[in-house]
Chain A
Amino acid sequence: MSGNGKVMTPDAIVGRLESGMTLGIGGWGSRRKPMALVRALLRSDVTDLTVVAYGGPDVGLLAAAGRIRKLVTAFVTLDSIPLEPHFRAARERGAFELVELDEAMFMQGLTAAAQRLPFLPVRAGLGSDVLRVNPGLRTVTSPYEDGEELVAVPALRLDAALVHLNRADHLGNGQYLGPDPYFDDLFCEAAETAYVTCERIVDTAELTAHAAPQTLLVSRHAVTGVAETPKGAHFTSCAPDYGRDESFQKEYATAARTPETWQAFHSRFLIGASEEDYQLAVQAWHKEQR
């Protein structure tokens, strides 16, 4: 790689995605979600998606826009607001197919995909209705003396992974500077193609100038494209660059209560031509709140 390496715009990244794909979305709940890419998806006509995520407002926004055909998740939450209003409404009107897994089953499924295994065994799920609502899940018997019967979580293979990190270089080496990597490296490794957005693209040497090497979460061999999207996780948290925008998240959740208020929110924040338009609209909203 030379010159600009793998640097792309959010809209160019979404230009590589196709309707019907299985998309893994990194982060956890309302934490370090690749929201700039979700917003770019909303500007595109990509739909009929299978979304695989520890869900937050990424799932909420895509569900509200009717882009999800099937959701694979263990939960959808806004953290400080426990129930995601769009996810809830979508489920209650039967808007998409749901594969409801336990958090540890989900992790094992991603790990299996990253390691090119058909499945990984896990104890979780036995005795619970996760097996009842996923009749396709199978168990496997240990070939050793214990003879234990465990759940065989199938690999969660992804067509594309979308993650947001604090820093990256132009080659796609991605760095997290907060306390939790979540599962972003696994999402990238479980995917055919992986796209990293970040707060700032820096020179490779700068990545470890002030941070330990183990902050380098995602390696370029697992990354297809990288984009610089400042505040790209907004309104979810992106520690230590910024915390969750709690007042805006509350505005989002309140707006979701009726079709009229959601239409107003959508017109004000989500129909712009670019990520910059969104960030400017949010700035203007915050000024009004003072």
Chain B
Amino acid sequence: MTTSTTVTRAEYCVVACAEAWRGDGEVLASPMGTIPSVAARLAKLTFAPDLLLTDGEALLIGDVPAVGARSAVTEGWLPYRRHLTMAMGGRRHVMMGASQIDRFGNQNISCVGDWRRPTRQLLGARGAPANSLNNPVSYWIPRHSPRVFVERVDMICGVGYDSAAAAGPSATRFHDLRRVVSDLGVFDFAAPDHAMRLVSVHPGVTPDEVREATGFPLSAPPEVPLTRDPTPDELRLIRDVVDPSGLREREVPTP
């Protein structure tokens, strides 16, 4: 049961990620990572009840089980072929991870170093090129550091605003990067130049700490707001319903 009223860093991250899906309506929320998975469930249980969720395999689930628990209600079928088609149709908002992300939202999950012979091979481009050109995309970075927030990514998988603009109208037509959430704060690309901008810091974090952990110049308002607190009901849902075993605290430990 909920006893502590002290909100943990992980719980601020959950709320900040959940906010990404506010107002999305009847689209698939596609979270990658533990905290985005907790967040998508929280959003569906509160301010975004029309969201669609999957079981992480091929089923759309009609209930909201705890993260890691089995769903008991199936409301749809979404094997990979339909999932890819759905992304291309735009009715999906994905929150992806990033091994590297730059100032204009270019993202890399493929490899570090020279692509021809990388120093560190990672996953590969996966669906990031299609996702970023076709449906709204947000990013989740559990450990904010200059190694992740880099001046230039080594391999553009998810397409940023500068790259989309350079590629022309077919690339920008449905391109829509919504927000970046890290363990330190929330960021967006809504400025006229689409450069990454600090939107809020999580309580306990200063804007200077964020700047030091970021490998490119970060614009910010003179007074940086704090990420909002979870409501008592949201806190109860996170702790008792969506993530009772506290998986979120493993992804973002209390500093």
Contacts and interface: CB of A to CB of B under 8 A. Distances in A.
Interface of A: 28, 55, 73-77, 82-83, 87-88, 91-94, 100-105, 107, 122-130, 132-133, 148-150, 178-183
Interface of B: 57-59, 77, 79-81, 84, 87-88, 110-111, 115-130, 132-134, 155-159, 163-164, 166-171, 173-175
Q: Which 5 A-B pairs have the closest CB atoms?
A: A124-B130, A75-B124, A127-B167, A179-B58, A91-B121
A104 B127 contact: yes
B126 A75 contact: yes
Given A128-B156, A129-B155, A180-B79, A94 B124 contact: no
Contacts of B116: 94
Contacts of B174: 123
B121 A87 contact: yes
A88 B124 contact: no
A102 B132 CA distance: 11
Contact of A94 (B81, B117, B158): B117
A77 B167 CA distance: 30
A128 B155 CA distance: 8
12 contacts: A28-B80, A75-B126, A91-B117, A102-B125, A104-B130, A123-B171, A124-B134, A125-B129, A128-B128, A129-B110, A129-B155, A148-B170
A196 B87 CA distance: 30
B157 A128 contact: yes
B217 to A, nearest CB: 23
A127 B106 CA distance: 10
A88 B134 CA distance: 29
Contacts of B121: 83, 87-88, 91-92
A83 B129 contact: no
A91 B123 CA distance: 11
Given A92-B119, A103-B126, A126 B84 contact: no
Contact of A126 (B59, B110, B170): B170
Given A123-B170, A127-B163, A127-B164, A92 B120 contact: yes
A247 B117 CA distance: 31
A235 B80 CA distance: 21
B79 A126 contact: no
Nearest to A150: B170
A128 B129 contact: yes
A71 to B, nearest CB: 10
B204 to A, nearest CB: 29
A76 B127 CA distance: 12
Nearest to B77: A179
B120 A103 contact: no
Contacts of A122: 88, 130
Contacts of A75: 123-126
A150 B130 CA distance: 12
Contacts of B170: 123, 126, 148-150
B223 to A, nearest CB: 35
